[in-house]
């Protein structure tokens, strides 16, 4: 895994957006996809809000995706394997880059056909604990024309990243505005933040 961790970190240093394939094994990605499908089929996803618990608003004109928060308390073997992997990445990140990450939070994200999330930052105005954003895509057979790209707003250009299965993204939460463009197929991922509390 160190090689994949290094790819994610090195590409982040080079261009402010780390990108790596293979962060999740095919086995783990497939089982996390199955979890999402089961949760969606049993109506356990909730409409995503804008803001945090202190200042929250569900505004479908800004975003209209659905989420399900991950937690070890669920005692799901595959989600716990995912958390073990994140623990290893955080340990490596702290040891090699001295980031001081002390925690994290992740949720499944589901965009149904026609969903989007307008331009935003990932850090709250009343809480600066989120330091790095991570997205791990779980979309098999994603094709050009399916939409749903992550559009990252750099100071002098836009970067479009397709949500292909196995791709992982890593960037500073308070630095880069980004948006999710309208998708034409159901789009799933794990989205989260590495935090300093």
Report the distance separating Cα 90 and Cα 73, nearest Å. Answer: 20
> What was the pLDDT predicted at 76?
96
> What was the pLDDT predicted at 62?
83
> What was the pLDDT predicted at 58?
55
CB 86 within 8 A of CB 70: no
Q: What is the mean pLDDT of each run of 10 residues along the chain (197 residues)?
A: 96 97 95 97 87 53 91 96 98 97 97 93 80 97 93 96 95 95 96 95
The answer to whether the predicted template modeling score (pTM) of the entire model surpasses 0.85 is yes
Report the distance separating Cα 38 and Cα 32, nearest Å. Answer: 10
Domain holding 86, by residue range, is 2-50+58-195
CB 78 within 8 A of CB 35: yes
Neighbours of 147 (CB within 10 A): 20
Exposed/middle/buried for 108, CB within 10 Å: 0-12, 13-18, 19+?
A: buried
- Based on the structure, what is the number of domains in the chain? 1
> What was the pLDDT predicted at 128?
82
CATH number of the structural domain spanning residue 157: 2.60.120.620
> What was the pLDDT predicted at 56?
47
């Amino acid at each position: 895994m160190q090689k994949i961790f290094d790819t994610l970190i090195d590409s982040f240093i080079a261009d402010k957006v780390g990108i790596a394939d293979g962060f999740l094994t095919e086995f783990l990605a497939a089982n996390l996809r199955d979890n999402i499908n089961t949760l969606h089929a049993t109506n356990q996803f909730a409409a995503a809000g804008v803001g945090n618990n202190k200042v929250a608003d569900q505004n479908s004109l800004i975003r209209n995706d659905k989420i399900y928060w991950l937690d070890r308390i669920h005692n799901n073997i595959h989600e716990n394997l995912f958390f073990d992997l994140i623990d290893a990445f955080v340990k490596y990140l702290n040891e090699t880059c001295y980031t001081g990450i002390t925690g994290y939070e992740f949720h499944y994200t589901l965009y149904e056909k026609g969903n989007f999330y307008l331009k935003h930052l990932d850090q709250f105005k009343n809480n600066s604990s989120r330091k790095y954003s991570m997205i791990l895509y779980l979309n098999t057979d994603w094709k050009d024309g399916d939409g749903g790209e992550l559009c990252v707003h750099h100071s002098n250009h836009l970067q479009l990243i397709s949500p292909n299965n196995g791709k992982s993204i890593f960037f500073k939460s308070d630095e880069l505005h980004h948006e999710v463009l309208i998708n034409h197929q159901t789009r799933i991922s794990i989205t989260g933040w590495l935090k300093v509390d």
